[in-house]
Amino acid sequence: MQEHTDSVAGDAAGGGHGIGRREFIGGIAGGMAAGGGFLGGLGSASAAQATEKGVYHEKMRTPIVGRYEVIVCGGGPSGFIAALAAARSGANTLLIERYGFLGGNAVAGLMTCYNGFRNQRAPEALQTVKGIPAEYIAEIVRLGGLADQDQYAKEFPHNATTGDLPYTVGFDPEAAKIACLNMIAKDGVRLRLHSWVVAPMLDGSRLTGVIVESKSGRQAIAADIVIDATGDGDVAAGAGAPFMLPDRKGDPGKGDRLQMTLMYRLGGLPAAVRGPFGGIRIGDRVVRWGPYMDGDGLDADDLTRVEVETRLRLWDQIQQMRRKPGMESIYLMQTATGVGVRETRRIIGEHIVREKDAVAGKRFADVIAISSNPIPRYHGRRYFFEHEGFDIPYGALVPRKVDGLLLTGRCISCEQAAFQSSRAMAPTMAVGHASGCAAALAVKGKITPRRVKVKDLQKLLLSQNAELRR
């Protein structure tokens, strides 16, 4: 059981989750209080312990250390863009991220190509993702962070330096991290790194903020509107929103859950040899796809198994490559921070984007973003749309049963085939743009996201150069 109080650091014993003795916790608080965190204050949690059939009951008093109009949980491509959009639209916004940098799977997972700015095959005349995501790419270009051109760029020439974005944009992950920081500083987004969002603050079915855990302890941060950009829908699921899980490999007649992959960067490439090193290349380095494995991205034991196995396999693969004549100089320069998880929860929203609508390219009056990215594993093959892209309606961002919450990124409300398209990073950024604007409108109108007028949202998005085909 948890209790959210307005107590300040010091009025209760400080300390962290899982520490059972009050006196011991108090000792930690006394020693660390001066340091504080980015937001100030130290977590205070008092825990009462009782053991009952393998269950440990915690009773906690959690200090509220900040209050914002909008909190975005997760600094990946969708969350970072959502935070920019909310701040730019007038909301006092905090962005919370568990790692020490922004960028999400694009940089933590070393997935260094933003796919889905337009259809990968003809017809590809329409750039379906523009607005703040395109400004972000311009910032990467300004920092000199574009990867070398790939084969696709030769077939369909576009010019990222002028905002005419191709289907995919390869980039340097270090430049991307800096581009994120530059942009949030410019738009006045407050940042809290090294903090896990571990639970929602709830008043009935309405979110009133989030609980974070970090080196500062366990803390509550209040908000009018929370945006779940964790990729896995952690906040929405924790608040009781219903969700779908991926079909598991081998379920008859169902789509397979996409596998996890450990991405890596190879260095020391011999200049003359390009062909065998397919991947995203910048100068003498290339980012490549490492071992693939099936697993459950919501299960820490399974994640551990996949993490260990992919790392061991990758090391062996690199040693084998080095034994080939002319390849002696290559070396494993970097692996992703963690194995890349493609598919977990999809939260059920007011609208579910259906497979048939994605394939048909159905248009909706309440469109807030478009996905034109192919479906990578549609009945066993990469499926390219014969249309310019399908509409994502606003209802796909509004979870059922929970108020004060918006969804963005790969956890929005979609059937599996539609998800496999809209999870690409360009459409997730477009969805982030919409969720940030919607949150700001909800704050301004003192209403829940469910009551935001889609026409107002579309008007705001169009004023920020989003593409809605309207």
Ligand X SMILES: Cc1cc2nc3c(=O)[nH]c(=O)nc-3n(C[C@H](O)[C@H](O)[C@H](O)COP(=O)(O)OP(=O)(O)OC[C@H]3O[C@@H](n4cnc5c(N)ncnc54)[C@H](O)[C@@H]3O)c2cc1C
Q: How close are the terminal C-alpha atoms of the chain, in Å? A: 48
The residues near 386 (Cβ < 8 Å, ≥ 6 apart) are 123, 361
CB of 237 to ligand X, least distance (A): 11
Handedness of CA 11, 12, 14, 17 (dihedral sign): negative
CB of 321 to ligand X, least distance (A): 20
Whether 290 contacts 262, CB under 8 Å: yes
User: Of 105 and 416, which has the nearer Cβ to ligand X?
Assistant: 105
User: Of 269 and 341, which has the nearer Cβ to ligand X?
Assistant: 341
Q: List contacts with ligand X (CB under 6 A).
A: 73-79, 96-99, 104-106, 108-109, 111, 113-116, 196-197, 229-231, 234, 261, 263, 340-342, 409-410, 423-425, 428
CB of 292 to ligand X, least distance (A): 8
In the three-class reduction of DSSP (H, G, I as helix; E, B as strand; rest coil), residue 459 is classed as helix
User: Of 109 and 349, which has the nearer Cβ to ligand X?
Assistant: 109
User: Of 46 and 378, which has the nearer Cβ to ligand X?
Assistant: 378
Handedness of CA 233, 238, 239, 243 (dihedral sign): positive
Distance CA 65, CA 219 (A): 6
User: Of 13 and 191, which has the nearer Cβ to ligand X?
Assistant: 191
Burial class (CB in 10 A: 0-12, 13-18, 19+), 247: middle
CB of 409 to ligand X, least distance (A): 2
Whether 442 contacts 91, CB under 8 Å: no
User: Of 263 and 443, which has the nearer Cβ to ligand X?
Assistant: 263
CB of 328 to ligand X, least distance (A): 28
In the three-class reduction of DSSP (H, G, I as helix; E, B as strand; rest coil), residue 98 is classed as coil
CB of 22 to ligand X, least distance (A): 27
CB of 105 to ligand X, least distance (A): 3
DSSP structure string for 301-357:
HHHHHHHHHHHHHHHHHHHHHHTSTT-TT-EEEEE-SSPBP----EE-BSS-B-HHH
User: Of 29 and 281, which has the nearer Cβ to ligand X?
Assistant: 281
In the three-class reduction of DSSP (H, G, I as helix; E, B as strand; rest coil), residue 369 is classed as strand
Distance CA 141, CA 57 (A): 52
